[in-house]
């Protein structure tokens, strides 16, 4: 399932008026007049070409051209580092001052190295470990999700929290993100609980928390034994917290998640964008489409202001988009304002968050 389907249970919205007003920090872009040029690098060929086509449609939403002479051109990054580098070099040779994408971290690193420090690369990956220099990470990261939902939980008095993740790199990234943001909210994290099983999970969480049950459990990764783990935690009466990963499922269809809180992009903004895009494509809009749209709108704005460079990306005012407000940091990472949703019977409800 993509994000659009569960957001439809939250709110309805008129599509085009909100999409027209979702540009960076203001309802309208300045008129064309400067010589800004950027390129979106999307996987238009290979196994993920369908996703690349949705990115292409998102980039041209609202009637904006994406051809070779347009403000933002779309080029095929393919699936390999070599194909992404070739696309990036061709785009820069054709006059691109800023690159949006690629979608994958390996490609993004290779592109940033190949084009040099003078060309900012706004990668759509969620791997913020690669950020730095001319490489800015634009995807929704584990740290952004943890910051939103743990901050909200702390405000509700949930400050003794255990984190349950499966073994492997992705689980380690979510664990590290929670550990990084918890101190700022006065949260005491338990020892990590790394398991792919739901058996004895409530006891394991209590043991990791010093022998007594914590106030809540952060269960960020969907897949494997996720639903069984949620059932075990709900049966123990624990407040369950989730990440943006939950957008890949329909949380309200999982009884154990009723009353759980999770991080997600602002659903009302995204609904308008999704409806507008789905009028053009036979697929539901997802986060990647939103990232492509927001990146293109940002590049168009900076191009018209003559600021398609590092200084422009680091503008104090930040930006606004269909996935919410955001701003880039000197480190190349992105601070993003996410919403916090509550899982109810048959729906999700907006209860907090947003604001980069």
Domains of the chain (ranges; CATH) run 20-139+275-335 (3.40.50.2300), 142-264 (3.40.50.2300)
- Residue 149 vs residues 126, 286, 291: alpha-carbon distances, Å: 17, 21, 21
- Mean pLDDT lowest for which of 27-31, 185-189, 254-258? 27-31
Band of pLDDT at residue 29, cut at 50, 70 and 90? low
Least Cα distance to 54 among 259, 277, 294, 250 occurs for 277
Supply the pLDDT for residue 274. Answer: 92
Contact between 274 and 7 under an 8 Å Cβ cutoff? The reply is yes
Give the orientation angle of helix 142-155 with respect to helix 169-181, to 10 degrees: 40
Band of pLDDT at residue 99, cut at 50, 70 and 90? very high
Least Cα distance to 240 among 208, 214, 210 occurs for 214
Residue 229 pLDDT more than 90? yes
Share of residues in the chain with pLDDT > 70 (%): 89
Question: What is the average per-residue pLDDT within 271-297?
Answer: 91
> How far is residue 170's CA from residue 147's CA, in Å, rounded to a whole number?
17
- Residue 240 φ/ψ, nearest 5 degrees: -100, 135
Name which residue leads in pLDDT, 63 or 9: 63
Band of pLDDT at residue 178, cut at 50, 70 and 90? very high
Q: Quote the tokens at residue 3.
A: 């994000």
Work out whether strand 193-194 and strand 160-165 pair parallel, antiparallel, or are unpaired.
parallel
Q: Within a 13 Å sphere around the CA of 210, how many CA atoms are in the beta-carbon half? A: 7
Look-up of token digits 């290979």 = 46
Q: Quote the tokens at residue 80.
A: 């390999």
Supply the pLDDT for residue 266. Answer: 87
Question: What is the average per-residue pLDDT within 296-318?
Answer: 95
Least Cα distance to 331 among 120, 126, 132 occurs for 132
132, β-bridge pairs:
135
Question: What is the average per-residue pLDDT within 180-198?
Answer: 97
Supply the pLDDT for residue 285. Answer: 83
Residue 147 pLDDT more than 80? yes
Supply the pLDDT for residue 16. Answer: 34
Share of residues in the chain with pLDDT > 90 (%): 81
The C-alpha angle with vertex 214 and arms to 229 and 349, in degrees rounded to 5, equals 65
> Mean pLDDT in the chain?
90
Residue 22 pLDDT more than 90? no
Supply the pLDDT for residue 191. Answer: 95
Say which residues have a Cβ less than 8 Å from residue 323's Cβ, sequence separation at least 6. Answer: 140, 265, 266, 269, 270, 287, 290, 291, 294, 336
> How far is residue 159's CA from residue 156's CA, in Å, rounded to a whole number?
8
Band of pLDDT at residue 23, cut at 50, 70 and 90? very low
Q: Quote the tokens at residue 114.
A: 């190949």
Question: What is the average per-residue pLDDT within 223-230?
Answer: 96
Residue 260 pLDDT more than 80? yes
Q: Quote the tokens at residue 214.
A: 């914590």
> How far is residue 27's CA from residue 16's CA, in Å, rounded to a whole number?
12
Q: Quote the tokens at residue 230.
A: 């949620």
Residue 269 pLDDT more than 70? yes
């Amino acid at each position: 399932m993509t994000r659009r389907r569960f957001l439809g249970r939250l709110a309805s919205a008129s599509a085009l008026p909100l999409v027209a007003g979702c540009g960076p920090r203001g309802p309208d872009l300045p008129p064309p007049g400067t010589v800004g040029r950027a390129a979106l690098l999307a996987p238009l060929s290979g196994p993920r070409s369908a996703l690349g086509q949705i990115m292409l449609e998102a980039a041209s939403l609202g009637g904006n051209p994406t051809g070779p002479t347009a403000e933002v051109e779309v080029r095929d990054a393919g699936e390999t580092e070599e194909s992404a580098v070739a696309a990036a070099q061709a785009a820069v040779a054709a006059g691109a001052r800023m690159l949006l994408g690629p979608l994958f971290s390996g490609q993004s690193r290779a592109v940033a190295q190949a084009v040099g420090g003078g060309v900012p690369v706004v990668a759509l990956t969620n791997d913020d470990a690669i950020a730095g220099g001319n490489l800015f990470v634009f995807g929704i990261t584990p740290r952004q999700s943890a910051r939103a939902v743990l901050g909200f939980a702390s405000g509700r008095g949930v400050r003794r929290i255990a984190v349950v993740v499966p073994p492997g790199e992705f689980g380690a990234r979510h664990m590290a993100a929670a550990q990084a943001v918890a101190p700022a909210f006065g949260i005491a994290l338990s020892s990590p609980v790394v398991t792919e099983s739901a058996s004895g999970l409530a006891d394991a969480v209590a043991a990791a928390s010093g022998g007594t049950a914590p106030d809540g459990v952060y269960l960020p990764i969907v897949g494997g034994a996720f639903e069984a783990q949620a059932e075990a935690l709900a049966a123990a009466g624990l407040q369950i917290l989730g990440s943006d990963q939950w957008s890949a499922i329909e949380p309200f269809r999982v009884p154990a998640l009723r009353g759980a809180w999770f991080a997600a992009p602002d659903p009302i903004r995204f609904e308008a964008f999704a409806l507008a895009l789905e009028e053009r494509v036979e697929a539901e809009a997802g986060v990647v489409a939103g990232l492509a749209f927001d990146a293109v709108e940002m590049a168009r704005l900076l191009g018209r202001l003559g600021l398609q460079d590092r200084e422009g990306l680091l503008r104090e005012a930040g930006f606004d988009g269909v996935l919410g407000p955001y701003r880039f940091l000197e480190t190349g990472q992105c601070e993003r304002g996410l919403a916090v949703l509550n899982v109810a019977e048959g729906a999700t409800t907006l209860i907090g968050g947003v604001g980069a």
